[in-house]
Structure 1
């Protein structure tokens, strides 16, 4: 569950936030309950409606990766 998102929604209904974000209430409910992750577009829309930085949806999913660099050729 994304309690922070419920807190951000405050007294607004899920139906209102969903409609303003361009998604169904069921889809919004799944995002709020942590059953689904929003697309970047939907995250931006929800952030705009509720007045927060949309990247918060993805902060705990980010990680650093090493880039593969092939060995130099001896040709």
Structure 2
């Protein structure tokens, strides 16, 4: 998931922004997904891809 974090930072998006986009209650919940501690669902991956403006295949 290192790639996910790199892309998010390059795009200037905060973890808080991503957490809100995914409907997560806390930023910490997003960090757990970004760091691979909690799995990212297919639906969440699609949202992340859209938010980052990067094709799904280049992130995951």
Show structure 1 runs of 4+ deviating over 6 A: none
Larger Rg: 1
TM-score, normalised to structure 2, is 0.73
Bigger proportion of residues as helix: 2
* Match 2:33 to one of 11, 22, 31: 31
TM-score (norm 1): 0.62
Unmatched 5+ stretches in structure 2: none
- Which structure carries more relative contact order (alpha carbon 8 Å, separation 6+)? 2
Cα root mean square deviation, aligned = 1.6
